[in-house]
Amino acid sequence: MNTFSVKAFGTEAKDKDLELMQIERREVTPSDIEIDILYCGVCHSDLHTARNDWGGTKYPSVPGHEIIGRITRIGSEVTKFKVGDLAGVGCLVDSCRECESCRKDLEQYCLTGSTGTYNGADQFLGGHTFGGYSEKVVVDEAFGLKIPENLDLKAVAPLLCAGITTWSPLKHWNAGPGSKVAVVGLGGLGHMAIKLAKGLGAEVTLFSRSPNKIQDALDLGADAVVISTYENEMSAVKGKFDLIIDTVPYDHDINPYISTLNISGTLVLVGYIGKMEEALFTPPMILGRRSVAGSVIGGIKETQEMLDFCGEHNILPEIEMIKMQDINTAYERMLKSDVRYRFVIDMQSLKR
């Protein structure tokens, strides 16, 4: 297959900084779109992959799965887009498209394994896929997303991961008018969970360990904040919530939150991948038909619905723009939670 070279930022090993490199992209096939990347969000998954925190990283690694740009070329069979359109690419660039999950528009749960935007198996060129820390990306039109023209493009990118990661459980567990939703943690995911739950019409509460987050949460749309280390505040919300979205990205004890669920309520983990060291205390679950569940991103149809909803309601993440050359500093700041609340890379800085 014919290819062309583009500039990218990636790393050759887990203990090396990201730096400028050249990568190969495939020439457009009949069903492909080529996107000139304007902005790329920075996700914790980018850092974890670059540093092989989860194991299995393939090098060289070029992260980035919150991609916004304009289409510069299309294949001969493309009908969904035209040259000049805005387009986005999220966490997925392919799936088997035939299994039960794919037929239900749940490509993220593809039974044979979906293809990640980076670190996935590249079925066209062999090797592995490269992400959005690059000048261009080529993707099948079926995995491209239409971007509402009214939204501020600089801030749209994180919707494609942080947005859909929180939107999918909110929709699946029917958050809306009359429901009471709580969010654990106020970071990239948590602040989007508050905005989206509020946009859907739910009553929204933030659980936080830090009183310093109270005003921020209220400014973002939360109706209340509960400091989870204050026993009196936790007792006051016992049995209250229909749904809790837990966005905390590290091992933590979820037992205190379970008793704050209403009968048949659900706590959904979206932030932490790994083994919880604190065992689940089951009586509150058994005696209240309460559940602990997990959720990851969303399929293409659901992601498009989320983008359209954000366009209609002008919902966007809070971002800080950076240059591509500052990504290593941004990673260090992310580890210190020194960002409000999501970094976005101005990809023009790579092209200069």
pLDDT value of position 210: 87
| pLDDT for position 281 | 95
**Among the listed residues 224, 185, 204, 145, the one whose alpha carbon sits nearest the alpha carbon of residue 341:** 185
Give dist(CA 63, CA 117) in Å, integer.
Answer: 8
> Position 53: which residue type?
D
Residues of the chain with pLDDT under 70: none
Characterize the bridge pairing of strands 291-294 and 261-269: parallel
Q: Please tell me whether the peptide bond between 341 and the residue prior to it is cis, using omega within 30 degrees of 0.
A: yes
Per residue in 277-335, pLDDT (tens digit) is 899 999 999 999 999 999 999 999 999 999 999 999 999 999 999 999 999 999 999 99
Closest CA to 197 of 216, 223, 219: 223
pLDDT for res 274: 87
Structure tokens at 304: 């498009």
CA–CA dist 87, 304 (Å, integer): 11
67 pairs with which residues across the strands? 40, 89
Placement of tokens 């210190």 in the chain: 336
pLDDT at 233: 97
Which domains are assigned to the chain? 3-158+318-351 (3.90.180.10), 162-294 (3.40.50.720)
Q: DSSP string spanning 138-164?
A: EEEGGG-EE--TTS-HHHHGGGGTHHH
> Long-range contacts made by residues 191-195, C-beta under 8 angstroms, separation at least 24?
191/216, 191/220, 191/317, 191/318, 191/341, 192/158, 192/159, 192/162, 192/163, 192/165, 192/166, 192/167, 192/317, 192/341, 193/166, 193/245, 193/247, 194/220, 194/221, 194/222, 195/220, 195/221, 195/315, 195/317
Q: What is the pTM of this model?
A: 0.95
